[in-house]
């Protein structure tokens, strides 16, 4: 979830695609096109940001694209719900992580995405009983935490500036847990948070505790519907006349030989293409519900098994009126023992131009945590809010509760690195198998976020060009 300057620039991918367009126009009659059509056709599986980015790039350079999506909507883990009158809530991604050198931010401006800095100037922290935690008391804990961090002189991986070495994290865990034995209370909560081994989240909770301030300053909340970006990119692709989108169509097998590639669907259809870009999430690859014939190589399967999916769910509650302190941008519940998670509750009214009495709670938890039933979750959150605001509480109007971990088309929220895995595993998953190309957040060296997913889509388009180019060259050589 941390912004990293991409290794491949948008311009570079455009240049490669332009090169392909040039090659195609110049040599079109000299080489045998595998599909024997005027334009190569590509199947993109999955209409998340990676699939849509690849689709837009390919169609704008003359490729036919068939976009196959299992759900009845586009967007994948970007899921904006419009409540009318320009009001939106987000059930999936909500932030742009950093705007400097972030190609996602630049492109979001083309599609009129409104972003507001996610500042930490006005916020409060509570414990699960609804007691506000004194910030001074907390700063003591933060100091202790900082001290622990500095005493470890943590080293950062050279290939990834945003993560600590697993060994460092282990040592940190041990030290904090030792503190737990001597000191109960908030430090115990902190220790529990840290024992939720989400390395991707590690920096996030540091900033929650105020250890890192710059990070929070560079997070931006999208307020007018993140899906505008995806719909905008898709509309552009549509306008080329080269795109067909099929929704509610689950791909369940990719059959590939050096000659042919076909995608089989659960409905029994078979689609042929010159290349396939597979953007199904890591969770789907791990579950094996999309088969490959011949199967994925051992090294790729090993890398898929090494990475894991983190669980991050949302409980979004709309009330009849605001009953909370409306000057707060958000409030944090340090540790929720029932959910084994920490909670970040955003006051949407603070950020949105359209005033909505809505609280959007993120549940940041470990990969083993399971979401409970809707009824349970609803009661859990309503009771928590009643404990925090016993005198002013107002009735609930409507609610949304996500379960990304059990959704068959995501099976988790985003990839993370458990102990013993690293960015090389992401790169291994990204390797093409002939003309079957892999994209999606989990294939990128800046994984877990929309930015990485977007760039992986562009890189996937480039890989299509490279693979087809190889075939063109071979065909030209043979003729």
Reduced to 3 states, what is the DSSP secondary structure of residue 475? helix
Residue (133 or 229) nearer to ligand FAD, CB: 229
Q: Return the bridge partners of 246, or none.
A: 68
- Going by C-alpha positions, the residue among 8, 26, 7 that lies closest to residue 18 is 26
Q: Is 413 in the site for ligand FAD (CB under 6 A)?
A: yes
Residue (176 or 273) nearer to ligand FAD, CB: 273
Q: Is 251 in the site for ligand FAD (CB under 6 A)?
A: yes
Q: For the segment 258-287, give every residue that binds ligand FAD (CB under 6 A).
A: 279-281, 284
Q: Is 205 in the site for ligand FAD (CB under 6 A)?
A: no
Q: Is 4 in the site for ligand FAD (CB under 6 A)?
A: no
Residue (76 or 232) nearer to ligand FAD, CB: 76
Residues 6+ apart with CB under 8 A from 282: 304, 307, 308, 309, 412, 415, 429, 440, 441, 442
- Rounded to a whole number of angstroms, the minimum distance from the CB of residue 259 to ligand FAD is 23
Q: Is 102 in the site for ligand FAD (CB under 6 A)?
A: no
Q: Which of 61, 228, 312, 445 binds ligand FAD (CB under 6 A)?
A: 312
Tell me whether residue 261 is exposed, middle or buried, using C-beta atoms within 10 angstroms of its C-beta: 0 to 12, 13 to 18, 19 or more: buried
Q: Which of 290, 332, 358, 465 binds ligand FAD (CB under 6 A)?
A: 290
* Helix boundaries (H) for 364-422: 374-388
Q: For the segment 129-168, give every residue that binds ligand FAD (CB under 6 A).
A: none
Q: Is 95 in the site for ligand FAD (CB under 6 A)?
A: yes
Q: Which of 48, 98, 357, 405 binds ligand FAD (CB under 6 A)?
A: 48
CA pair distance 31, 41, nearest whole angstrom: 16
- Sheet strand arrangement including 251-256: 270-273, 261-265, 251-256, 291-293
Residue (185 or 408) nearer to ligand FAD, CB: 408
Q: Which of 250, 329, 347, 361 binds ligand FAD (CB under 6 A)?
A: 250
CA pair distance 243, 460, nearest whole angstrom: 17
Instruction: Report whether 319 contacts 394 (CB < 8 A).
Output: yes
Q: How many CB atoms lie within 10 A of CB 111?
A: 14
Residue (40 or 412) nearer to ligand FAD, CB: 412
Q: Which of 40, 46, 98, 210 binds ligand FAD (CB under 6 A)?
A: 46
Instruction: Report whether 211 contacts 381 (CB < 8 A).
Output: no
Size of the site for ligand FAD (CB under 6 A): 40
Q: Which of 314, 352, 435, 445 binds ligand FAD (CB under 6 A)?
A: 314
Token pair for 435: 């003309």
Looking at the chain, how many residues does it have?
479
Instruction: Report whether 340 contacts 428 (CB < 8 A).
Output: no
DSSP 38-79: SS-EEEEE--SHHHHHHHHHHHTTT-EEEEE-SSSSS-TT--
Q: Which of 47, 64, 200, 365 binds ligand FAD (CB under 6 A)?
A: 47
Residue (172 or 402) nearer to ligand FAD, CB: 402
Residue (316 or 471) nearer to ligand FAD, CB: 316
* Residues 429-448 as x/- pattern, contact with ligand FAD by CB under 6 A: -----------xx------x
- Helix-, strand-, coil-residue percentages of the chain, each rounded to 5: 40, 25, 40
Q: Which of 56, 61, 97, 179 binds ligand FAD (CB under 6 A)?
A: 97
DSSP 270-331: EEEESEEEE---HHHHHHT-SEEESPPPHHHHHHHHHSEEEEEEEEEEEESS--S-TT-SEE
Residue (290 or 317) nearer to ligand FAD, CB: 290
- Rounded to a whole number of angstroms, the minimum distance from the CB of residue 79 to ligand FAD is 8
Residue (87 or 415) nearer to ligand FAD, CB: 415
Helix/strand/coil (H, E, C) string of 215-258?
HHHCEEEECCCCHHHHHHHHHHHHHCCCEEEECCCCEEEEEECC
Q: Is 49 in the site for ligand FAD (CB under 6 A)?
A: yes
Q: Is 51 in the site for ligand FAD (CB under 6 A)?
A: yes
Instruction: Report whether 249 contacts 68 (CB < 8 A).
Output: yes
DSSP state of 170: H
Q: Is 71 in the site for ligand FAD (CB under 6 A)?
A: yes
Q: Which of 63, 271, 409, 472 binds ligand FAD (CB under 6 A)?
A: 409
- Rounded to a whole number of angstroms, the minimum distance from the CB of residue 446 to ligand FAD is 10
Q: Which of 88, 323, 335, 404 binds ligand FAD (CB under 6 A)?
A: 404
Q: What is Dmax (Cα atoms) for the chain?
A: 83
Q: Is 344 in the site for ligand FAD (CB under 6 A)?
A: no
CA pair distance 193, 365, nearest whole angstrom: 9
Which of 165-173, 329-337, 339-347, 404-412 is the region at the interface with ligand FAD (rule: CB under 6 A)? 404-412
Which residues are at the interface with ligand FAD (CB under 6 A)?
A: 45-51, 68-71, 76-78, 92-95, 97, 250-251, 279-281, 284, 290, 312, 314, 404, 409-410, 413-414, 440-441, 448-451, 453
């Amino acid at each position: 979830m941390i912004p990293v300057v991409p290794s491949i620039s948008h311009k570079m991918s455009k240049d490669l695609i332009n090169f392909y367009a040039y090659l195609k126009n110049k040599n079109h009659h000299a080489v045998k096109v595998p599909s024997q059509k005027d334009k190569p056709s590509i199947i993109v599986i999955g209409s998340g940001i990676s699939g849509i980015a690849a689709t837009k790039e390919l169609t704008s350079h003359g490729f036919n694209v068939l976009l196959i999506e299992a759900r009845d909507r586009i967007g994948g883990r970007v899921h904006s719900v419009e409540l009318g009158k320009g009001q939106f809530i987000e059930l999936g991604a909500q932030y742009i992580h950093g705007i400097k050198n972030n190609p996602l931010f630049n492109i979001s401006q083309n599609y009129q995405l409104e972003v507001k800095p996610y500042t930490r100037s006005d916020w409060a922290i509570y414990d699960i009983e609804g007691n506000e935690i004194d910030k001074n008391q907390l700063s003591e804990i933060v100091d202790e935490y900082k001290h622990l961090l500095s005493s470890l002189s943590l080293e950062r991986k050279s290939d990834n500036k945003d993560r600590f070495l697993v060994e460092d994290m282990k040592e940190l865990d041990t030290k904090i847990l030792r503190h737990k034995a001597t000191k109960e209370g908030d430090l115990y909560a902190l220790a529990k948070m840290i024992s939720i081994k989400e390395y991707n989240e590690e920096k996030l909770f540091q900033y929650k505790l105020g250890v890192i301030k710059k990070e929070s300053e560079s997070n931006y909340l999208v307020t007018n519907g993140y899906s505008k970006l995806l719909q905008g990119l898709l509309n552009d692709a549509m306008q080329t006349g080269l795109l067909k989108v099929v929704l509610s169509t689950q791909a369940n097998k990719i059959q590939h030989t050096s000659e042919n590639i076909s995608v089989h669907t659960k409905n029994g259809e078979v689609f042929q293409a010159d290349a396939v870009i597979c953007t199904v999430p890591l969770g789907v690859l791990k579950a094996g519900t999309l088969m490959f014939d011949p199967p994925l190589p051992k090294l790729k399967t090993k890398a898929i098994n090494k990475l894991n999916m983190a669980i991050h769910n949302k409980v979004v509650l709309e009330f009849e009126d605001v009953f909370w302190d409306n000057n707060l941008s958000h409030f944090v519940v340090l540790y929720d023992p029932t959910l084994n998670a920490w909670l970040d509750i955003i006051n949407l009214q603070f950020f949105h131009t359209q005033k909505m009495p809505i609280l959007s709670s993120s549940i940041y938890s470990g990969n083993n945590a399971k979401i409970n039933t809707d009824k349970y979750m609803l009661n859990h959150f309503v009771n928590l809010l009643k404990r925090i605001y016993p005198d002013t509480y107002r009735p609930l109007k409507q609610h949304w509760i996500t379960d990304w971990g059990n959704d068959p088309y995501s099976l988790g929220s985003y990839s993370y690195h458990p102990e013993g895995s690293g960015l090389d595993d992401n790169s291994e998953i990204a390797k093409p198998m002939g003309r079957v190309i892999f994209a999606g957040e989990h294939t990128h060296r800046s994984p877990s976020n929309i930015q990485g997913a977007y760039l992986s889509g562009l890189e996937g388009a480039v890989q299509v060009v490279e693979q087809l180019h190889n075939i063109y060259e071979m065909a030209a050589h043979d003729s």
